[in-house]
């Protein structure tokens, strides 16, 4: 597989980030956006501001499968479960 020519061009047969092949595979922002709830432009902006983990190879932003999984965990919010009140003996 070769690197895409255009910024938002997608390559064929990409490994999923959760597979062993995808953990160290480098995805473009457009390819990473397929797995994340952000646009390619937003991913690039967040990477330039060092808000999310990414790979900076030659002044280009890439995302490894491990980066994509870390970003998913970073923005995952668990539901709040209020603690039950403790009854005291009166």
Nearest 10 degrees: CA dihedral of 17, 19, 24, 27?
Answer: -30
Question: What letters, b where the CB count within 10 A reaches 16 and e where it falls short, cover 45-68?
Answer: ebbeeeebbbeeeeeebbbbbebb
User: How is 28-84 classified by DSSP, letter by letter?
Assistant: PHHHHHTTSSS-HHHHHHHHHTT-S--EEETTEEEEEHHHHHHHHHHT--PPP-PPP
11-49: pLDDT as tens digits: 888 999 999 999 999 999 999 999 999 999 999 999 999
| The predicted structure's pLDDT at residue 5 | 52
pLDDT digits (tens, 9 = 90+) for 49-60: 999 999 998 789
**Looking at the whole model, is its pTM more than 0.95?**
no
**Does 89 have pLDDT greater than 80?**
no
């Amino acid at each position: 597989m070769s690197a895409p020519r255009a910024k938002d061009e997608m390559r064929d047969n990409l490994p999923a980030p959760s597979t062993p092949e995808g953990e160290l595979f480098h995805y473009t922002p457009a390819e990473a956006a397929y797995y994340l709830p952000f646009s390619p432009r937003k991913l690039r902006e967040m990477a330039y501001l060092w808000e999310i983990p990414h790979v900076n190879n030659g002044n280009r932003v890439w995302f490894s499968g491990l980066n994509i999984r870390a970003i998913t965990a970073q923005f995952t919010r668990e539901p709040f479960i209020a603690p039950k009140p403790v009854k005291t003996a009166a």
